[in-house]
Amino acid sequence: MSPSSKRSISRRGFIQGASAVAAASPYLIPAGVLAQDGQPGANDKIGVAGIGIGRQGSGDMNGAKNNSDVRIVGVADVNLPRAQSMNERFGGQVAVQNYHEILERDDVDAIITATPDHWRAIVSVHAAQAGKDIYAEKPMTLTILEGRRMAQAVRKYDRVFQTGAQQRSHPVNRYGCELVRNNRIGEIKSVEGANYPSPWYGNLPAQPIPDGLDWDMWCGPTEPVPYNIDLYTPRANPGWISFSPYSGGEVTGWGAHGLDQIQWALGMDETGPVEIWTEGPALKPPTIEGSHPRSAGEGPCSEPVVCYKYANGIEVRLDKGNQGGAIFYGTEAKLEIFRSRVTSNPAEIVEVPIRDDEIHLYESGNQMRNWLDCIKSRERCISDVETGHRSSTVCHLVNIVRLLGRPLKWDPEKEIFPGDDEANSYIDRDRRAGYELPTEAEV
């Protein structure tokens, strides 16, 4: 392919270029909107607190703090010295180790939670029950059932929920998905995503637990193991993001971005695949002894290649696509969505704006600002709980089919593998006593 036959559009070029589609209009709330039923009005400050605030959460908290209508109330973290440091950094009033102390506060309207994946659902359900709006980092869940419980809780208690799939707020990514939705490359025949590695197991030697860290609480729903910095740190050698039972690996790490873009571009936000299969035998995740770079487990856990199909016949193959998006093959052209960049062949496809009479997707110029605006308007966010659950479910399906190594049928309405008890056993995980996921009746 010659350089002239393929052209890309970057985020900066999208916003600044004369041929680009106009950036999203600001989301406005009428000045006369007043607080009702204990919710912040359009001119009120929103009391925000953080739960589980480390590497990613500190960025989220900073994003909230930089808005003039936000007041930071405090931080909860199982690592109390970190909670104290973050609380001071963001100008809060209180630092605690037990997140329930945050949820009990009347001056907290909303929480940001960026706990490890194995904690996120329980915190979010409890926050909804406490009447708090929620910004939960991605991936939204560790299991499929967790996502359904979170959605049930958010709807029952009428909460505003946003998950951190921020590529939906990138104008370029929205434009790329609109191009697919409006058949600019013809009828979609297939999609190629990235071959994200599944998680593996680690056996790390015990190290002294740092002062102020409640390690038993960090383990939470999982069986306690010895503390090691390369487990406690999200991305280290390798860090908890690579390990089961704390995470779904990069399938849920980067896949929560890339597979989410596929869902959005194909109009699948309320559903999911109906068939999923592998090209090769079942994955047997290794147990890596000691601390090692992520490459030690990512190689063996990137097999087998996974494919899935939607009810409309579109097939997705996870092999050589990019982590932040996917390649869409249409009857007339090819288009690739990256993180804040879109390319096409023929090149001119990415140079033509979306017309007024075509499909326009939800516009949000900023994931955090969108959440704050929706807290006041009580409208749904761009990455609402159902949207986040459906995209996370696709990630979990990839991990499940890899472990089983055989074709599976999936019912996206009932959210079960019909007639397949073995596969259905993977819809949720066992939890330690005292950290159970609430049942549907308990939500």
Identify whether residues 153 and 185 lie together within a single domain: no
Q: Are residues 63 and 151 in the same domain?
A: yes
Note whether 179 and 236 are same-domain residues: yes
pLDDT class of 14 with cuts at 50, 70, 90: very low
Contacts of 359 (CB under 8 A, 6+ apart): 178, 181, 182
Asked whether residue 112 is domain-assigned, the answer is yes
CATH of the domain at 89: 3.40.50.720
Look at residue 342 and tell me if it is in a domain.
Answer: yes
Strands, E, within 14-106: which ranges? 46-51, 70-76, 94-96
pLDDT level of residue 26 (50, 70, 90 thresholds): very low
**pLDDT digit string, tens, across residues 421-434:** 999 999 999 999 99
Same-domain pairing of 218 and 328: yes
Please, are residues 370 and 381 in contact by the beta-carbon 8 Å criterion? yes
Same domain, yes or no, for 173 and 284?
A: yes
Q: Are residues 238 and 276 in the same domain?
A: yes
**Residue 44 pLDDT level (bands cut at 50, 70, 90):** confident
Same domain, 147 and 290: no
pLDDT tops 80 at residue 420: yes
88 shares its domain with 176? no
| Degrees, nearest 5: CA angle 404-122-388 | 65
Task: Work out the mean pLDDT of the chain and round it to a whole number.
Answer: 92
pTM score = 0.92
Q: What is the extent of the structural domain holding 154?
A: 46-167
* CA–CA distance, 359 with 265 (Å, rounded to integer): 11
Give the helix/strand (H/E) hosting 206: none
Query: How big, in percent rounded to 5, are the helix, strand and coil portions of the chain?
Result: 35, 20, 45
pLDDT of amino acid 19: 31
User: Count of domains in the chain?
Assistant: 2
Mark whether 161 and 181 lie in a shared domain. no
Q: pLDDT > 90: what percent of the chain?
A: 90
Q: Residue 295 carries which DSSP code?
A: H
pLDDT given at position 95:
98
Same-domain status, 231 and 215:
yes
Quickly state the pLDDT bin for 37 (edges 50, 70, 90): low
Give pLDDT, residue 443: 95
